[in-house]
Structure 1
Amino acid sequence: MLSAVPPPAFRPPTADEVAAAANRTIPDLVGPGLRVLFSGINPSLYSAATGHHFARPGNRFWPALHRAGFTPALLHPSEQGTLPGLGLGITNVVARATARADELSPAELVAGGRLLTQLVTTWQPRYLAVLGVTAYRAAFGRPKARIGPQEETVGGVPVWVLPNPSGLNAHFDLQGLSTEYARLRHAVSDPPADRPEGDRP
C-alpha cells in the first residue's frame, strides 16, 4: 500500500486547482520539542492545492515514515496535524510550489538554506532531516554530501540527509526509502549525545 485511505472530509483537488497552485506555499509544521524536523525540497503543485505536505499521489513519504517506525499507523497527508504530537515536524528548503523540483534556481536553494537555518535555530529540533541529497548540497554548499548523518550542523542541530521520497526518484524503492528512514529513527531513539559544534552556516 502506497497511501492511506483518505478521511471522508478530504476532497482531491481538480486539475484546474492543481495548475493554479503554482508558487503557493504551505504552512510549516513546527513547534518546540521536535525529535525530527523533516525538510522537503519544495511543495508539489498537488500538495500546495491541498495544503498538505507530501500529498501528491505516488509520493512515498508517509509510507516510509510509517514503515520506519516514526508513526504508529500509515497516515494520510490530511492527517499531518498529528505529527507534532509525535515529536515530528515538516518544512521545505524552498517554500514556493512548482511542478518539479528542478524548476528551482541555485540562488533559490541557497536562500532557502539560509531561511531553513533560521527556522532550525529558533526551534532546535533534535535532528534536521533534509529529504534530497542534491538539494542539500546546493542549499548548504556541501558538494560532497552523501545520504546519512552529516559532519556539519545547521543552526547547531545535527543533520541527516535522506532520499527524496518523490515517486520520480527511481534510485530508491519504498523498501530502500524505509530502510534509510529507519536508520534515522534508530538514531533518534538512542540516548542524546552532546551536539558537535561543527559549522553553523
Structure 2
Amino acid sequence: MDRLPDQLQPGLRLVFVGTAASERSAATGHYYAHPGNRFWRTLHDVGLTPRLYQPAEFPALLSLGIGFTDLCKLGAGMDHVALKAGVDVAGFAAKIRQHRPATIAFTSKKAASLFYARPTRAIVLGRQPEHADFPTVFVLASPSGAASGAWTLQPWRELAVHVGQR
C-alpha cells in the first residue's frame, strides 16, 4: 500500500516529486507534514500559492493545478531507511507521461539523482536540460529540516517565475 496517495490529474501546471514520505507524513497521510519542513511556507513565500496552506490541505492544491507524488511509494522515513522499500522510476515516468503536467519539481537532489541515475553530487539545482517526451524539470533544494545546511530559496523562486509564465 502506498504511504501517501498520488495527487495527480491530467493538465496540472506543476507536480512536486519527493523521494519518499517522512515518518510524520506517512503517519498523518499528508505530504511534507513535519513541522520543521519548509515546504508549505516556501510555496507561499515564492508565490506558488495565494496563502499559507497546512499539510492536511494538500488535496486542495489540485484546484491550483499543483499535484504530488514520490519515487518510493512504499517506504517511509529518512532516505537510507525508506529507499529499502524500492524505487519505481519507470512507474513514476509512466504516471508523468500519462498525466502530462507542464512542469515537475523534484524536492531534493536525492530524488532527482534517483530519476536521472546519477550521483547526487552530479545534480545541479534549478531548471534541468530538456528530457525527451517529458515535462520541464526543476530540482529544488530540499525543504526538509534535515537538509538545512544545503538550503537555498533560489531554485524555488526560479520555479515560481517559470510556472507563473505558463
Normalising by structure 1, what TM-score? 0.74
Runs of 4+ residues deviating >3 angstroms: 104-107
Residue identity in the other structure for 2:70: N
- Residue deviations 1:28-49 (CA, integer Å, cap 9, x gap): 1111221110011100111111
Deviation at 1:172, TM superposition (A): 3.9
Aligned residues: 164
Post-superposition offset of 1:104: 4.2
Are the aligned partners of 1:106 and 1:138 in contact in 2 as well (CA < 8 Å)?
Answer: no
Shift in CA distance, 104/154, structure 1 to aligned 2, threshold 3 Å: farther
User: Residue type of the partner of 1:28?
Assistant: D
Residue 164 (structure 2) pairs with residue 186 (structure 1): no
Q: Is the 8 A contact 2:139 2:155 kept in 1?
A: no
How far off is 1:181 after superposition? 1.1
1:31 aligned residue: 9
The higher radius of gyration belongs to: 1
Query: Equivalences for 1:13-162 in 2 at 5 Å?
Result: 25-105=3-83, 108-109=86-87, 112-143=88-119, 144-153=122-131, 155-162=133-140
RMSD over aligned CA atoms reads 2.0
Q: Per-residue CA shift, 1:74-119, capped at 9, x if unaligned?
A: 101111121011010011111124221122448933xx22121011
Give the distance between the partners of 1:87 and 1:34, measured in 2 at CA.
5
Q: Percent identity?
A: 32
1:80 alignment partner, SS class: helix
CA distance in 2, matches of 1:136, 1:91: 13
Contact 1:162 1:180 in 2 (8 A): yes
Structure 1 gaps, min length 5: 1-22, 192-201
TM-score in terms of structure 2 length = 0.89
Contact 2:113 2:123 in 1 (8 A): yes
SS at match of 1:53: coil
Instruction: Assess if the C-alpha contact under 8 Å between 2:74 and 2:85 holds in 1.
Output: no
Alpha-carbon offset, residue 153 of structure 1? 2.1
